[in-house]
Amino acid sequence: MYIIALDEGTTSVRAILYDGTGKAIVSSSKPIKIKTPRPGWVQQDAEEIYGKAVDVLKELINKAGVAARDIAAIGIANQRETVVVWDRKTGMPVYDAIVWQCRRTADICEKIKAEGMAEEIFNKTGLEVDAYFSATKIKWILENVPGALYKALNGQLIAGTIDSYLIWKLTEEHKHVTDPTNASRTMLFNIKELKWDKDLIRYFDIPIDMLPEVVDSSSKVGYTSVLGDPVLIGGIIGDQQASLFGQCCFDIGEAKNTYGTGSFMLINTGDYIKAPSGLLNTVGWTIRGKATYAIEGSIFISGALIQWLRDQMGILKTAQESEELALQVSDNGGIYIVPAFTGLGAPYWDMYARGLIIGITRGTTKAHIARAALEAMAYQVYDIFDMVENNSGFAIKSLKVDGGASSNNFLMQFQANILGVDVIRPEDLETTARGAAYMSGLTAGVWDMEILKKLNKEDRVFKPDIDFDRARAIKGWRRAVERSKSWAI
């Protein structure tokens, strides 16, 4: 029997087929277009996302030469916070999916803070008030798309994160569900009670029956017939929690960081909900009604900085070249880059910070810039690590890494030097998909938690260099961050 992971990320949708030993056998992927109609606005065509999700699923089983009846279950991992509002009868979205990166609701967030709601929201949902999360995006659609509010009040519209929308479309009976990892990113979900919070839903003026039913991350969600015979959808999990699970961070204090477009560090906190100020509490996963919680530090721009140097600045030909360039110089030459392109996320939460490159002299070369960019990706992770170490009571003994940019050896070594702990890279960097596969494999009875721990293989451990002057490096970074803050006010 096989397991399929469907990983719907911000830039692409991928499907991966795993055998019973956890080996990834075949994969298929398609890019998803990103629209930026105004500065700070980010949206996607939800129907394109669904269409391409079905395409990659079909392509996957054709490539592998397997049939739907050979698949024990499909697990879904998805970009989180991104919302769709669609017609309960026809499935037609009333507007594009508003993507997690979109800043259009920054003013709504300011109003929420001015109304003194931030503390109640943090206590109930574990989240900082920021345009990143779903609630203000749903509110924006209802208030700005002609006729949407009227239809929503009449029960014609429903809403959900990408997992909900995909499952509604994939299942014949149009199941309207989500799981607590996705719900915990909406700003409408009480993470202690594991229920939608009626007071917050009322506060945001969202009709409660628009929201999906919340089921366990590992559960028999429904069946899809898009591949022919019905296949069980056995797992739903937000992509960053999926990578925590896929890295088998099952014990308290185990942590992972994903270096993709953005960067997301999650630390397993077991039953505890106690993020230090500036970090988020989030649901890691739920299995048989029991939640495992996590502290999360969300960084908006990570590998996207390398993309920017390549595509917009022309400093790099490829992302990989950043490593060669960084190694051509013995240090950053005093250059620091703060990639606050869309403000700063954790632990600063400054919607008005903007990017900077500082310390430039006549001697600055593109090698220094490339090196400073990679270092910035690591410093941002350090900020979260430091907050957890000093303010949460949890100790992080090592960091598991994944995501496209974790293939960069310079970055990984610098990360180990800055954190002062081992950085562990697995052989398979697609841990998000792996987490979704593991979740649905548990539901289908293919694996149990003990077996899962044996399926992962390490590629390389990066050990901290004891001669590295951490204090000096971090001091420069901190000064640079201070200068980037509140720039766009």
Contacts to ligand ADP by CB under 6 A: 9-11, 260-261, 303-304, 306-307, 319-320, 322-323, 403-405, 407-408
Q: Which is nearer to ligand ADP, 196 or 379 (by Cβ)?
A: 379
Binds 100, which of ligand ADP, ligand G3P, none (CB < 5 to 8 A, cut-off by type)?
ligand G3P
Q: Is 144 exposed, middle or buried (0-12, 13-18, 19+ CB in 10 A)?
A: exposed
Report in angstroms how near the CB of residue 80 gets to ligand G3P at its nearest: 4
Q: Which is nearer to ligand ADP, 224 or 415 (by Cβ)?
A: 415
Binds 80, which of ligand ADP, ligand G3P, none (CB < 5 to 8 A, cut-off by type)?
ligand G3P
Report in angstroms how near the CB of residue 244 gets to ligand G3P at its nearest: 12
What radius of gyration, in Å, describes the C-alpha atoms of the chain? 22
Report in angstroms how near the CB of residue 100 gets to ligand G3P at its nearest: 4
Binds 364, which of ligand G3P, ligand ADP, none (CB < 5 to 8 A, cut-off by type)?
none
Q: Which is nearer to ligand ADP, 320 or 365 (by Cβ)?
A: 320
Residue at token pair 């900085």:
305
Determine, following the binding rule CB under 6 A, whether residue 80 of this chain makes contact with ligand G3P. yes
Report in angstroms how near the CB of residue 260 gets to ligand ADP at its nearest: 3
Binds 320, which of ligand ADP, ligand G3P, none (CB < 5 to 8 A, cut-off by type)?
ligand ADP
Report in angstroms how near the CB of residue 361 gets to ligand ADP at its nearest: 25
Determine, following the binding rule CB under 6 A, whether residue 402 of this chain makes contact with ligand G3P. no
Q: Which is nearer to ligand G3P, 80 or 176 (by Cβ)?
A: 80
Determine, following the binding rule CB under 6 A, whether residue 100 of this chain makes contact with ligand G3P. yes
Determine, following the binding rule CB under 6 A, whether residue 239 of this chain makes contact with ligand G3P. yes
Out of 2, 5, 6, 9, name the contact with ligand G3P by CB under 6 A: 9
Binds 391, which of ligand G3P, ligand ADP, none (CB < 5 to 8 A, cut-off by type)?
none
Q: Which is nearer to ligand G3P, 105 or 332 (by Cβ)?
A: 105
Site string for ligand G3P, 261-300 (x = CB under 6 A): xx--------------------------------------
Q: Which is nearer to ligand ADP, 142 or 373 (by Cβ)?
A: 373
User: What is the spatial distance between Cα 55 and Cα 53, in angstroms, rounded to a whole number?
Assistant: 5
Contact 248, 451 (CB under 8 A): no
User: What is the spatial distance between Cα 98 and Cα 100, in angstroms, rounded to a whole number?
Assistant: 7
Binds 81, which of ligand G3P, ligand ADP, none (CB < 5 to 8 A, cut-off by type)?
ligand G3P
Q: Which is nearer to ligand G3P, 83 or 232 (by Cβ)?
A: 83
| Three-state SS sequence of the chain | CEEEEEEECCCEEEEEEECCCCCEEEEEEEECCCECCCCCCCEECHHHHHHHHHHHHHHHHHHHCCCHHHEEEEEEEECCCCEEEEECCCCCECCCEECCCCCCCHHHHHHHHHCCCHHHHHHHHCCCCCCCCCHHHHHHHHHHCCCHHHHHHCCCEEEEEHHHHHHHHHECCCCCEECHHHHCCCCCEECCCCEECHHHHHHCCCCHHHCCEECCCEEEEEEECCCCCCEEEEEEEEHHHHHHHHCCCCCCCCEEEEECCCEEEEEEEECCCCCCCCCEEEEEEEECCEEEEEEEEEECCCHHHHHHHHHCCCCCCCCCHHHHHHHCCCCCCCCEEECCECEECCCCCECCCCCEEECCCCCCCHHHHHHHHHHHHHHHHHHHHHHHHHHCCCCCCEEEEECHHHHCHHHHHHHHHHHCCEEEEECCCCHHHHHHHHHHHHHCCCCCHHHHHHHCCEEEEECCCCCCCHHHHHHHHHHHHHHHCCCCC
Binds 144, which of ligand ADP, ligand G3P, none (CB < 5 to 8 A, cut-off by type)?
none
Q: Which is nearer to ligand G3P, 2 or 189 (by Cβ)?
A: 189
Please choose, out of 115-123, 234-242, 386-394, 438-446, the segment that lies near ligand G3P by the rule CB under 6 A.
234-242
Q: Which is nearer to ligand ADP, 12 or 277 (by Cβ)?
A: 12
Out of 3, 4, 5, 10, name the contact with ligand G3P by CB under 6 A: 10
| Residues written for the chain | 489
Q: Which is nearer to ligand G3P, 347 or 476 (by Cβ)?
A: 347
Report in angstroms how near the CB of residue 405 gets to ligand ADP at its nearest: 3
CA angle 257, 260, 262 (to 5 degrees): 85
Out of 54, 61, 81, 437, name the contact with ligand G3P by CB under 6 A: 81
Binds 303, which of ligand G3P, ligand ADP, none (CB < 5 to 8 A, cut-off by type)?
ligand ADP
Determine, following the binding rule CB under 6 A, whether residue 256 of this chain makes contact with ligand G3P. no
Cis bond leading into 207, ω under 30°?
no
DSSP state, 323?
A: H
Sign of CA dihedral 99, 104, 108, 114: positive
Report in angstroms how near the CB of residue 107 gets to ligand ADP at its nearest: 27
Binds 182, which of ligand G3P, ligand ADP, none (CB < 5 to 8 A, cut-off by type)?
none
Which stretches of 266-365 are DSSP H helices? Answer: 303-311, 321-327
Instruction: List contacts with ligand G3P (CB under 6 A).
Output: 9-10, 79-81, 100, 238-240, 260-262
